[in-house]
Structure 1
Amino acid sequence: MRILVLGGDGYLGWPTALHLSQCGHDVAVADNFARRQYDFELGAGSLVPIESLQTRTSVWRELTGKTIEMFIGDLTDADFTYRMIREYRPDAVVHFAEQRAAPYSMIDRKHAVYTQVNNVVGTLNLLYAIAEIDRDIHLVKLGTMGEYGTPNIEIEEGWLELEYKGRKDRVLYPKRPGSFYHLSKVHDSHNIEFACRIWGLRATDLNQGIVYGQQTPETAMDDRLATRFDYDAVFGTVLNRFVIQAVLEMPLTVYGKGGQTRGIIDIRDTVRCIQLACENPAEPGEFRVFNQMTESMSVRQIAETIAECYPGEVVIEHLDNPRVELEEHFYKVNHTGLMELGLVPHLLSDTLITSLFDIAKRYRDRVDLAAVRPNVNWRDARDARVGER
């Protein structure tokens, strides 16, 4: 199978490309390197050093004899998007190529607008390119569990069977996202469903939980194949941040009471889920949704797990929550689709956490302490540029 991974230089895109290549698929990656530019903008960076995409692909060919083709460009450039699809002629397109951080989208008006334009317009260009060039291409799109918010009913896999005033229907599950980033993902989902319904495209929307971990079997083959390890308050996932804080003997900073419950997933399961989705495509005209998570935990439970596993004293500190979200809530998610396709999940374990501790200790001198504390407040709607006038 020919698979094109968009955002193939990123935290998840790169390990996914390696995993698909190792599984025997022909793989190409595309990226505009915007994620690396965010580091310059924010004064942050990956804890683990990462090589250029050119070096990474060369090392992969050196180690395995397998070639990963590269396309350098931006999905918001329609000409580039069309040209890439025509040249590579993929059977499946895996779409990671979006601004992925909720805090980044909430910095100010500029970052909110950028996030929505980049994400929604890029996906629209891709949908049009697939529709005009080859409608049999299977789009595998990374969504987020954050699209749903925290409803007081069970979360189904994308669709909801309901009865109202004696009539029944099957509708998209209602969404209540918590940031302009999550809103962009909702817009994507609606646009993709529309394209499937009107143009007969085939798509799988993967509503993914919070990813933890830094290594897959492929990235562990050589330090030069490493993917990112983000720990800062804007792009860092909560578990990675807690690991860094434990190693540096800093308090684990829990926002509010820590009762916010989320779906989580091991990075090794993420790449496996993508493989399963690609190898078992949706039908023409089908908008298929999988909730891509393996277990759910509250932020407080994650902090307590880190504290229990770390071989040293760990203190948990509760901060005023910079986000607007429920502190305690009902959270039950149905996520059977990928299990039925063959996913055998890795659950959060001492073994994985221990490996993260080892990585954090190895690169602890690269930590920027200022980057760990939250500096984006959801309640502040002032535009930074306007405020400077």
Structure 2
Amino acid sequence: MHVLITGGAGFIGSHLVEHHLRCGDSVHAVDNLTTGRVENIASFLGDHRFRFDEADILTWGDLEKATIWADRIYHMAAVVGVFKVLEDPIRVLSINIAATERLLRMATTGQWKPQIVIASSSEIYGPTSSDLLREDDILYVRSGARSRWNYAISKLADEAFGLSYARQHDIPVCMARLFNTVGLRQTGRYGMVVPRFIDQALRDEPITIFGGGAQTRSFCDVRDTVAALALLASTPQASGEIVNVGNDREISINDLADLVCQRAGKNSVGRKHMSYAEAYGQQYDDILRRRPSLEKLRALTGFRHRWSLEDSLDEMIAHYRERQDK
């Protein structure tokens, strides 16, 4: 199988590369390296089945040729991370939306209809108080919403494009709403909480918690995320559907800090709470709970998780320690 991965040098994209190379597929990754890193895919560069292009898919001249070549496309390219989103809200809208439309348009030019998975986000659910988030929930954005919601708006537009191309051009497109994926190759540089907590714990620095810490999240190991995305791509019934992808185990950020310290053997490390204004330099609307309903994912694919949050933390902590020792 021929697999095209946009954002292929990013955190999740690089794990998709690894998954499909292990399956014996030919993989073409493209990434402009804004948040992706060559180090994430360095071990694959010598594989004759793997090709990498450093390019922006908004302007990449070979996009049409690559989509015609591909049997399957994972569209992971986007401006991501809270700090990036707040830093340049206009770029978030223009790149995330236009890149998705261009990819879908190119994918309709050939005779072959590739399987396409578009990475959406749990951010789409917005400031809801629901204890379980379902794909058919009513979504809303406050009038005059702050720029932190531009990412959610861009992903909602991506879903709308995906659904429209699936219906009008009869191409197999699935929109995957990703919930807080964690694992190796993830960096805390752009606001990701787990690698930031691990780095602080191993440096014996106070764990910095934004807000009160009672807000909850549901963390999914990247290997489970990749397995779910691959299953959705190969499931005809998932075409034209929006599907939550994540883990439905819920944990507060305060409890996450405690768990990281426990797994790292750093229970004496202190805690430091920061307001959102201090952390981000502006007011920030947080989501109090973010737990996915996985009923649809399981019904469509039979997916079951293989890795727990403890498994993810142990692997990440060991990797961080190894880097510190070098």
TM-score w.r.t. the length of structure 2 is 0.86
Number of equivalences: 312
1:263 Cα offset (Å): 2.6
Distance 1:134 1:96, change over 3 A: farther
**Aligned positions of 1:147-296 closer than 5 A:** 147-153=124-130, 155-160=132-137, 173-176=138-141, 178-214=148-184, 228-232=185-189, 235-282=190-237, 286-294=239-247, 295-296=249-250
Higher relative contact order (CA 8 A, sep 6+): 1
2:306 pairs with 1:352: no
RMSD: 2.6
**Aligned positions of 1:1-389 closer than 5 A:** 1-35=1-35, 51=39, 53=41, 55-59=42-46, 61=47, 67-77=49-59, 79-86=61-68, 88=69, 90-107=70-87, 111-134=88-111, 136-153=113-130, 155-160=132-137, 173-176=138-141, 178-214=148-184, 228-232=185-189, 235-282=190-237, 286-294=239-247, 295-312=249-266, 313-322=268-277, 324-326=284-286, 329=288, 331-340=290-299, 341-345=301-305, 346-349=307-310, 351-364=311-324
- SS of equivalent residue, structure 2 residue 109: helix
1:53-109 deviation line (CA, Å, top 9, x unaligned):
5x43334x2xxxx611334432212643223223x2x121101111112321212xx
Contact 1:145–1:263 under 8 Å retained in 2: no
- SS of equivalent residue, structure 2 residue 57: coil
Distance of 2:171 and 2:227 partners within structure 1: 23
Contact 2:3–2:71 under 8 Å retained in 1: yes
- SS of equivalent residue, structure 2 residue 177: strand
Larger Rg: 1
Contact 1:158–1:289 under 8 Å retained in 2: yes
Distance of 1:129 and 1:236 partners within structure 2: 32
Distance 1:29 1:259, change over 3 A: same
* Amino acid paired to 1:5: I
* Amino acid paired to 1:268: R
Contact 2:83–2:191 under 8 Å retained in 1: no
Contact 1:156–1:334 under 8 Å retained in 2: yes
- SS of equivalent residue, structure 1 residue 34: coil
* Amino acid paired to 1:31: D
* Amino acid paired to 1:51: E
Matched-pair identity in %: 19
Tell me, which stretches of 5 or more residues in structure 1 are unaligned?
Answer: 37-45, 161-172, 215-227, 367-389
* Amino acid paired to 1:202: P
1:236 Cα offset (Å): 4.2
Contact 1:32–1:72 under 8 Å retained in 2: yes
1:356 Cα offset (Å): 2.1
TM-score w.r.t. the length of structure 1 is 0.73
1:209-228 deviation line (CA, Å, top 9, x unaligned):
112110xxxxxxxxxxxxx3
* Amino acid paired to 2:227: R
